[in-house]
């Protein structure tokens, strides 16, 4: 059984003026997501600025999100690292904190071989009991996982169950699903590609868009699953200008700006991320107005 089907939000982490985690605002965001129909919450992923968190902050945010969600939707913790030992530590702590599953990005910078990737993920999976999703985003990590590597891990390691695919390489994604014979739960990691990946047997999306449009993103998936592919496709296409604006600068710079424009007061970013350029912010504002969320 899949960890979730539909739209999981890659949740931002709100900060106070002094750059501490704003837990009261985080509670509010989790409640808003659940009320908006979000099917899962991903805490401390890329969008949550996990790379700028201390280990203690990272685990405390996961614990807090699990407490607020209280079993209403699955909570998936991002616990990836370029150090296998560190990824194991974060994964074990996230499991103790109540996470339902883990999202683990390929180890960046080291640029492991395919055998190294297999050894890395197998070692982590052997230390936890909850399900794991691989996270394939070569544009950020500099590492490409071959389709056969993804399928081998999902087939041979019991608690590695699927992949968040953000490579944008449809030929490779089709190859994954061809080789998988049902053993890989596929999730889109790109908001502009939800419907195409659903058409290949995908289970849903792990979404940045859901931060500002949770019900709409959920409905793209739900409409598809209910057989209304035309409606799902129309909703996907309608969202493209906003999605493009949300990625006109590196994520999560635009989505945090968008949420602040919506009055959500989620705070600023931690360095080295900086605030949006004025021209890009105007572009984002226009896209939000045209989409009807501002």
Domain of residue 155, CATH code: 3.20.20.70
SS3 (DSSP) at 285: helix
SS3 (DSSP) at 250: coil
**Is 250 contained in some domain?**
no
Per-residue pLDDT of the chain (294 residues; tens, 9 = 90+): 899 999 999 999 999 999 999 999 999 999 999 999 999 999 999 999 999 999 999 999 999 999 999 999 999 999 999 999 999 999 999 999 999 999 999 999 999 999 999 999 999 999 999 999 999 999 999 999 999 999 999 999 999 999 999 999 999 999 999 999 999 999 999 999 999 999 999 999 999 999 999 999 999 999 999 999 999 999 999 999 999 999 999 999 999 999 999 999 999 999 999 999 999 999 999 999 999 999
Largest CA distance in the chain: 50
Contact yes or no for 256/212 (Cβ under 8 A) = no
Cα 245 to Cα 282: distance, rounded to the nearest angstrom: 10
Tokens of 25: 């605002």
Q: Which domain holds residue 109?
A: 6-226
**Is 85 contained in some domain?**
yes
**Is 73 contained in some domain?**
yes
**Is 110 contained in some domain?**
yes
**Is 63 contained in some domain?**
yes
Q: Which residues are catalytic?
A: 135, 164
The b/e string for 259-281 (b: 16+ C-beta within 10 A; e otherwise) is bbbeebebbbbeeebeebeeeeb
**Is 271 contained in some domain?**
no
**Is 275 contained in some domain?**
no
**Domains of the chain: total:** 1
Residue keyed to tokens 């590196």: 250
Residue keyed to tokens 């607020």: 68
Identify any residues that bridge with 187 across adjacent strands, giving them in sequence order: 164, 204
**Is 235 contained in some domain?**
no
């Amino acid at each position: 059984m899949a960890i979730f089907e539909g739209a999981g939000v890659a949740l931002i982490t709100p900060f106070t003026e002094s750059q501490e985690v704003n837990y009261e605002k985080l509670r509010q965001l989790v409640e808003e997501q659940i009320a908006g129909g979000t099917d899962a919450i991903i805490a401390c992923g890329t969008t949550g600025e996990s790379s700028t968190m201390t280990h203690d902050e990272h685990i405390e945010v996961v614990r807090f999100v699990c407490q607020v969600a209280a079993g209403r939707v699955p909570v998936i913790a991002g616990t990836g690292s370029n150090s296998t030992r560190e990824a194991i530590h974060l994964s074990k702590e996230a499991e103790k904190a109540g996470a339902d599953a883990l999202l683990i990005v390929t180890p960046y910078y080291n640029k492991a071989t395919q055998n190294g990737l297999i050894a890395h993920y197998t070692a982590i999976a052997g230390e936890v009991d909850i399900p794991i999703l691989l996270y394939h985003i070569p544009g950020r990590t500099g590492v490409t996982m071959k389709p056969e590597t993804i399928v081998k891990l999902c087939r041979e390691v019991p608690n590695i169950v699927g992949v968040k695919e953000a490579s944008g390489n449809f030929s490779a994604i089709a190859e994954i699903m061809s080789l998988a014979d049902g053993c890989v739960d596929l999730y889109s990691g790109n908001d502009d590609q939800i419907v195409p990946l659903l058409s290949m047997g995908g289970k849903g999306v792990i979404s940045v868009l859901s931060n500002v449009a949770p019900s709409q993103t959920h409905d793209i998936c739900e409409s598809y699953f209910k057989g209304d592919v035309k409606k799902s496709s129309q909703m996907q296409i309608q969202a493209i200008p906003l999605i493009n604006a949300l990625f006109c600068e590196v994520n999560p710079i635009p989505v945090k700006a968008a949420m602040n424009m919506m009055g959500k007061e989620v705070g600023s970013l931690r360095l080295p991320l900086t605030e949006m350029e004025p021209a890009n912010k105007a572009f984002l504002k226009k896209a939000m107005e045209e989409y009807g969320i501002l």
